[in-house]
């Protein structure tokens, strides 16, 4: 017992529960939301993108998260479409981000969280001559040359490329280990001889430059995106080229050369072969050749 007349010690304050965001400012909600996403091992790109969605939404509604109603969500969607001119793809991503936000804080919203149906567009890709030009234009830069080979021959997503660590490369087996790819799935990616040589040349070059990092390419996705666009322009390629275009290029080229679609699915890390099947609709010439080989003689 404390001495008579002494002030009684106060009990420590009870921290607010994760599902009670009323005590949080909008900034705290976003920070806690991003921390939850990181704990779920979401990709850095998803953490950043969903954080931006949460920040934009809370700025629009101007009220605590636990006071948000379905009409607020519906009003926000109308604002994005009518005032910000969001495409269906952008709106789809935004709704997915909001759904994750409310779910993370245990808040139920009745309406407004049904994502729109996205238009089915055929993926853009380069032909093999364009891809060769792209690689050759970067030959003078060991880093750019290696990055393009890993993207173009390995089919990695740009986030997977930037997260790849040197220790995850088996040079004796010519294999890259992609850890926690999309959907938190690990997979092995084959590294053919040209990529092997490009990566070894780059590692020797960066060692001479004194670059020390556990990551193979200590760069950001934005840096890679800019480099790919710059090199494509230098190579005289008219269409807009991104790292994902190189992923589509690999899948299309493999399919054209007769690779089983199930192997392409495994290489790209698709959860379902239905996702990979979009490439069967891309190349008319491959379709024509396959039809000619298999057509019946009535």
Per-residue pLDDT tens for 271-298? 777 778 777 666 666 666 666 777 767 6
> Domain check: are 160 and 99 in the same one?
no
pLDDT given at position 4:
44
Give the domain range for residue 82.
21-104
> Domain check: are 134 and 213 in the same one?
yes
pLDDT given at position 5:
41
> Domain check: are 284 and 219 in the same one?
yes
**Does residue 13 have a pLDDT over 60?**
no
CATH of the domain at 157: 1.10.443.10
Residues forming the active site:
157, 182, 244, 247, 270, 279
Q: Which two tokens stand for residue 196?
A: 């092997």
pTM over 0.85: no
Structural domain contains residue 114: no
Per-residue pLDDT tens for 183-232? 557 889 989 999 999 999 999 999 999 999 999 999 999 999 999 999 99
Question: What separation in angstroms does the CA of 94 have from each of 54, 56, 75, 114, 139?
Answer: 9, 10, 13, 11, 39
Structural domain contains residue 61: yes
Structural domain contains residue 191: yes
């Amino acid at each position: 017992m404390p001495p008579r007349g002494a002030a009684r010690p106060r009990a420590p304050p009870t921290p607010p529960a994760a599902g009670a965001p009323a005590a949080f400012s909008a900034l705290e909600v976003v920070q806690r939301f991003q921390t939850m996403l990181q704990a779920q091992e979401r990709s850095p790109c998803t953490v950043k993108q969903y954080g931006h969605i949460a920040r934009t939404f809370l700025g629009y509604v101007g009220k605590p998260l636990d006071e948000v109603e379905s009409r607020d969500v519906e009003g926000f969607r109308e604002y994005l479409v009518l005032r910000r001119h969001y495409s269906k793809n952008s709106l789809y991503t935004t709704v997915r981000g909001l759904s994750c936000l409310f779910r993370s804080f245990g808040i139920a919203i009745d309406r407004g969280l049904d994502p729109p149906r996205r238009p089915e567009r055929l993926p853009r890709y380069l032909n093999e001559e364009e891809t060769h030009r792209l690689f050759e234009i970067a030959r003078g830069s060991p880093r750019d040359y290696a990055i393009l080979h890993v993207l173009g021959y390995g089919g990695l997503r740009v986030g997977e490329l930037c997260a790849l660590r040197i220790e995850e490369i088996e040079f004796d087996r010519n294999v890259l280990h992609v850890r926690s790819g999309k959907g938190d799935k690990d997979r092995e990616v084959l590294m053919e001889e040209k990529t092997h040589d490009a990566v070894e040349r780059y590692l020797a070059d960066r060692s001479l430059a004194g670059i020390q990092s556990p990551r193979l390419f200590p760069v950001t996705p934005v840096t890679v995106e800019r480099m790919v666009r710059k090199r494509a322009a230098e190579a005289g390629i008219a269409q807009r080229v991104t790292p994902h275009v190189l992923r589509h290029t690999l899948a299309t080229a493999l399919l054209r050369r007769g690779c089983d679609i199930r192997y392409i699915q495994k290489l790209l890390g698709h959860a379902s072969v239905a996702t990979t099947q979009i490439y069967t609709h891309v190349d008319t010439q491959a379709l024509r050749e396959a039809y000619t080989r298999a057509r019946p003689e009535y």
